[in-house]
Amino acid sequence: MTQPTVSVLVPSYNHGCFIEEAIGSALASEIDGIEVVVVDDGSTDDSRERLRLVSRDDRVRVLEQENRGAHAALNRALENARGEFLFILNSDDAFPPNRLPRLVDELRAHPEAALASSWIQIIDDHGNELGVKEGWHNLPPWPPPTGGPYLSDLGHPALALLETNFVSTTSNLVFRRSLVEEHGLRFQPLRYAHDWEFILAACHHGGLRLVPEPLVKYRVHADNTIKEGAGTEVGPMRFEIQWVVARHAYRLLGSSLGEGSGLDELVQLAWNSMPSFGCDGILDRLLVLRGNSEQPSPAYDAIIDPSHPFHGAAVATLAAAG
């Protein structure tokens, strides 16, 4: 069997009205040697029926599992991918035809990079264009905690990721299969920030390239998971974000020393930038618990379990912060 150049990994869950468009957009890409690996995560709508239709194309493989969450669907797709370059496409998003060749070329031109992403074309349920997110330069999901200056002012994408997840979605990621095979990277069992955590973890192994062109269509609709975090689940979402940022902050800040910024400047920029949601004490405690070791301790990672005492108290405080 011929080895594909590109694998497009599609975690599918209850997006029957969008899934055929998503897969069709990947198959229409202006590149040869493509496979699409779909993992349906226990959909209860007509997604599986629609997937049986699109899987008649021999470039499409469909795997099914009971509902275990987006991270589990993505990890299973990673395990089954055969391409040199791995793209992720959520089942409610879409690719323009030039995304795959443009970003493959970007990674080939920058072998030191671990990941590549692009600007984002935001669309609605019907595909109408709503605007373009240009990396960290516009459309922040929440206002920064201070008036600046910020880590993003340094123009270093990995440091800007400690301020905001400007990549915004797993649909905006491409990386080499060798990255996950050599470093054992997997998506963590997080509901709201599994993409952000994966990106930060990957940045320890190389840079992030941001292509200043809108090369992915991110769909905003009533069932976006992130909308839960703006409502009743604001506390859990904020805690996940702080846990993720604290998990990677020391290593990324440390690796940037000697690149024009001193320690005191980086520390001040970090405090101006990292998402505190008005609860500096929780973020500070997470940073202390994380420590500056190369890898987080099991004790730190245990904090993300909702049964952990610190977790529950922090979520309640963050939810009440307004």
Examine residue 291 and state whether it is found in any structural domain, yes or no.
no
* Residue tagged 């599986």 (tokens): 48
**Contact by Cβ (8 Å): 235, 124:** no
Query: In angstroms, what CA-CA distances link 248 with 42, 254, 268?
Result: 32, 10, 17
Distance of CA 187 to the CA centre of its chain: 9
One-letter amino acid at 67 equals: N
Examine residue 33 and state whether it is found in any structural domain, yes or no.
yes
Residue 171's nearest CA partner among 133, 120, 136, 135 is: 120
Q: What is the pLDDT of residue 257?
A: 66
| Other CB atoms within 10 Å distance of the CB of residue 5 | 17
Distance of CA 313 to the CA centre of its chain: 26
| Domain ranges, residue 26 | 6-134+160-221
Examine residue 303 and state whether it is found in any structural domain, yes or no.
no
Q: What is the pLDDT of residue 225?
A: 65
**Contact by Cβ (8 Å): 105, 174:** no
Examine residue 276 and state whether it is found in any structural domain, yes or no.
no
**Contact by Cβ (8 Å): 198, 185:** yes
Q: What is the pLDDT of residue 146?
A: 78
Q: What is the pLDDT of residue 262?
A: 79
Q: What is the pLDDT of residue 141?
A: 86
Examine residue 47 and state whether it is found in any structural domain, yes or no.
yes
Domain of 37, CATH number, reads 3.90.550.10
Structure tokens at 127: 């595909």
The DSSP annotation for 169-188 comes to: SGGG-EEEHHHHHHH-----
Please give the backbone phi and psi of residue 40, each rounded to the nearest 5 degrees, phi first. -85, 125
Q: What is the pLDDT of residue 286?
A: 97
* Residue tagged 């373009």 (tokens): 132
Cα gap 258→239, rounded to integer Å: 31
Cα gap 56→98, rounded to integer Å: 24
Q: What is the pLDDT of residue 263?
A: 81
SS3 60: strand
Examine residue 302 and state whether it is found in any structural domain, yes or no.
no
3-state DSSP percent of the chain in helix, strand and coil, to 5: 45, 20, 35
For the chain, 322 residues long, give each residue's pLDDT as a single digit of tens: 578 999 999 999 999 999 999 999 999 999 999 999 999 999 999 999 999 999 999 999 999 999 999 999 999 999 999 999 999 999 999 999 999 999 999 999 999 999 999 999 999 999 999 999 999 999 888 887 778 899 999 999 999 999 999 999 999 999 999 999 999 999 999 999 999 999 999 999 999 999 999 999 999 987 766 655 566 689 999 999 999 999 999 999 988 765 667 788 888 999 999 999 999 999 999 999 999 998 999 999 999 999 999 999 999 999 998 7
| Other CB atoms within 10 Å distance of the CB of residue 252 | 20
> Domain total for the chain?
1
- Count Cα neighbours of 227 within 13 Å in the Cβ-side half-sphere: 6
SS3 260: coil
Cα gap 302→296, rounded to integer Å: 10
Examine residue 48 and state whether it is found in any structural domain, yes or no.
yes
**Contact by Cβ (8 Å): 78, 178:** no
DSSP secondary structure code for residue 292 in this structure: S
What pTM value is reported for the model?
0.94
Examine residue 74 and state whether it is found in any structural domain, yes or no.
yes
| Other CB atoms within 10 Å distance of the CB of residue 155 | 9
